[in-house]
């Protein structure tokens, strides 16, 4: 450890001997009066984090250049599984939905921490996933979200192994599927419903770049709405109800809906389609709608308003043409992410804030839609942490990751892992 880092940790240890872990997380044993930062094995693990950050970044790039489009994460998952096996995790497996799991046993099974990152990206099959480097910046689809998280998880395992850190409880490391888009959190839902049901005491996901801690889960409901009719010729069959016109009526009504700003509640018509030709009355037209809020009541209220807008658009289009070629509507729920939160005063949040400070990160509490939505909605202590460094252009083809001081993200994840497995 260099002199500057030693000084930093010495100062932190002095200031926080009695306060660093003011209260243990749910399911944890009380921590000893001696802080983590005074333990030789932990200090050695932090040394390993800093020394190995270049390898973490190389792993980040390697994983990112393995395509993992929506619902097709298998190739990246197999590569992740192979690393878990090389790092000596036990019971390494790919579960029924595609999650990659590996265990690092503690002295006892509980408390049981799950530390995860997500395998999938938003980019469709066929996207060029080659990365480029310019100085400390790497560019490429998904390089921060969530190749950074995947690499940080591996960096934590390596540092624990290098310094032979033994935890009281067991840590299961996971690469999840289906975090993005219409994946609808299917990976983490499976963990809590089936694979690890009833056996998770705390949950941390590492998602993207930066320093924030997400403790509020923004819920969402997503629909694919289709208006259907018999269709026909634009001239010869003029006068029958038109699914695309009904779609337009619905979109206009949705756009006029008022929603609260606190709690922030949003809606978006993200995709539309339908029809066969400029001179044909469509037989069907569809749209996909995304609704979001961190508040269950507000989410339900905007959902009800949109349902009324859709129903009225159907009535109005049919009435306009006196029910000639009468339309029907099909509403399919394609995404349901529950809202939730972990209180700011919760031990897991306070521990994460203190771990951030210990490694020099200025961490703010944030809200977002992540794998932690599921445990938060179930009352399991959970947060999502950024993976360090700086990211920009998330979900864009030219997404960027600046690795300046990115070791801090790996170091925070390491300390948090050890703290929550006590």
* Angle in degrees, CA 246, 251, 257, rounded to 5: 130
C-beta atoms surrounding 43 within 10 Å: 18
Kindly report the CA angle at 337 between 288 and 171, in degrees rounded to 5? 140
Rg (CA), the chain: 24
Specify the residue for token string 């996971």: 174
CB 225 within 8 A of CB 330: yes
Q: Residues with Cβ < 8 Å from 160, sequence gap 6 or more?
A: 45, 104, 167, 414, 417, 418
Residue 371, both tokens? 């794998």
CA–CA gap between residue 410 and residue 407 (Å, rounded): 5
Per-residue confidence band for 35, with pLDDT thresholds at 50, 70 and 90: confident
H/E run at residue 316: helix 296-320
Query: pLDDT tens across 228-258, in order?
Result: 999 999 999 999 999 999 999 999 999 999 9
> What is the mean predicted confidence (pLDDT) over 302-323?
98
pLDDT on residue 422: 85
User: Domain 3-217+339-420 adopts which CATH fold?
Assistant: Aminopeptidase (3.40.630)
Q: List the chain domain ranges.
A: 3-217+339-420, 222-337
User: What's the CATH architecture for 222-337?
Assistant: 2-Layer Sandwich (3.30)
Look up tokens 């993992």; give the residue. Answer: 68
Q: How far apart are CA 374 and CA 186, in angstroms?
A: 10
CB 235, CB 279: distance < 8 Å:
yes
DSSP sequence for 56-92: HHHHHHHHHTS---TT--HHHHHHHHHHHHHTT-EEE
| pLDDT band, very low/low/confident/very high, at 328 (cuts 50, 70, 90) | very high
Nearest-angstrom CA–CA distance, 34 and 256: 58
Neighbours of 267 (CB within 10 A): 19
And the tokens for 243? 């699914």
Query: Is residue 29 within 8 Å of 422, Cβ to Cβ?
Result: yes
Residues 6+ apart with CB under 8 A from 87: 102, 154, 157, 158, 161
Pair of tokens at residue 174: 């996971």
Nearest to 86 by CA among 175, 170, 161, 176: 161
b/e 292-305 (16+ beta carbons within 10 angstroms → b): bbbbeebbebbbeb
The DSSP element (H or E) to which 384 belongs, if any, is: strand 382-385
Quickly count: other Cβ atoms within 10 Å of residue 126's Cβ.
8
Task: Note the pLDDT of residue 37.
Answer: 85
Q: Which residues pair with 287 in a beta bridge?
A: 225, 272
Mean pLDDT over residues 67-95, rounded?
98
Q: How far apart are CA 278 and CA 322, in angstroms?
A: 24
- Structure-token pair, residue 309: 């807008």
pLDDT given at position 7: 38
Instruction: Express each pLDDT in 374-391 by its tens digit.
Output: 999 999 999 999 999 999
> What are 39's two structure tokens?
């333990």
Pure H helices in 17-70: 40-64
Task: Provide the H-helix boundaries in 341-386.
Answer: 347-358, 373-378
Q: Say whether 222-337 and 3-217+339-420 share the same fold.
A: no
pTM: 0.88
pLDDT tens column, 250-301: 999 999 999 999 999 999 999 999 999 999 999 999 999 999 999 999 999 9
Residues linked to residue 226 through DSSP beta bridges, in sequence order: 286, 330
Contact 111, 28 (CB under 8 A): yes
Q: Out of 21-35, 90-104, 369-383, which region has the weakest mean confidence (pLDDT)?
A: 21-35
For 154, the enclosing helix (H) or strand (E) is helix 147-162
> Higher-confidence residue: 26 or 291?
291
The label of the residue with tokens 């929550």 reads 420
């Amino acid at each position: 450890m260099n002199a500057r880092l030693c000084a930093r940790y010495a100062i932190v240890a002095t200031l926080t001997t009695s306060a660093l872990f003011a209260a243990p997380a749910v399911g944890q044993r009380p921590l000893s009066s001696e802080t983590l930062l005074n333990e030789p094995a932990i200090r050695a693990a932090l040394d390993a984090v800093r020394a190995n950050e270049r390898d973490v970044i190389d792993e980040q790039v390697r994983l990112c250049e393995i395509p993992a489009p929506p619902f097709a994460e298998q190739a990246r998952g197999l590569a992740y599984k192979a690393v878990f096996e090389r790092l000596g995790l036990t019971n390494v497996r790919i579960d029924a939905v595609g999650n990659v799991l590996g265990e690092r046993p503690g002295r006892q099974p509980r408390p049981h921490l799950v530390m995860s990152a997500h395998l999938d990206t938003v980019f469709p099959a066929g996207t060029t996933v080659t990365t480029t480097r310019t100085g400390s910046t790497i560019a490429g689809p998904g390089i921060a979200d969530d190749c950074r998280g995947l690499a940080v998880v591996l960096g934590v395992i390596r540092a624990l192994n290098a310094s032979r850190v033994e935890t009281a409880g067991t840590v299961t490391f996971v690469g999840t599927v289906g975090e993005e888009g219409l994946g609808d959190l299917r990976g983490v839902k499976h963990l809590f419903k089936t694979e690890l049901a009833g056996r998770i005491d705390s949950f941390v996901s590492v998602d993207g770049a930066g320093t924030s801690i997400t403790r509020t889960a923004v819920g969402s409901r997503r629909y694919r709405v289709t208006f259907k009719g018999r269709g026909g010729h634009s001239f010869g069959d003029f006068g029958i109800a038109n699914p695309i016109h009904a779609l337009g009526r619905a979109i206009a009504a949705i756009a006029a809906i008022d929603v609260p700003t606190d709690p922030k509640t949003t809606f978006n018509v993200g995709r539309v389609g339908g029809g066969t030709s400029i001179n044909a009355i469509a037989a069907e037209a569809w749209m996909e709608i995304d609704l979001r809020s961190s508040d269950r009541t507000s989410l339900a209220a905007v959902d009800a308003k949109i349902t009324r807008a859709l129903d009225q658009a159907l009535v109005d289009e049919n009435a306009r043409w006196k029910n000639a070629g009468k339309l029907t509507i099909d509403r399919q729920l394609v995404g349901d992410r529950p809202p939730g939160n972990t209180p700011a005063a919760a031990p897991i949040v306070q521990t994460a804030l203190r771990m951030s400070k210990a490694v020099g990160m200025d961490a703010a509490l944030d809200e977002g839609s992540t794998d932690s939505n599921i445990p938060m909605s179930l009352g399991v202590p959970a947060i999502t942490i950024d993976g360090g460094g700086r990211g920009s252009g998330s979900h864009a083809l030219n997404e960027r990751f600046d690795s300046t001081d990115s070791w801090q993200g790996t170091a925070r994840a390491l300390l948090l892992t050890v703290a929550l497995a006590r």
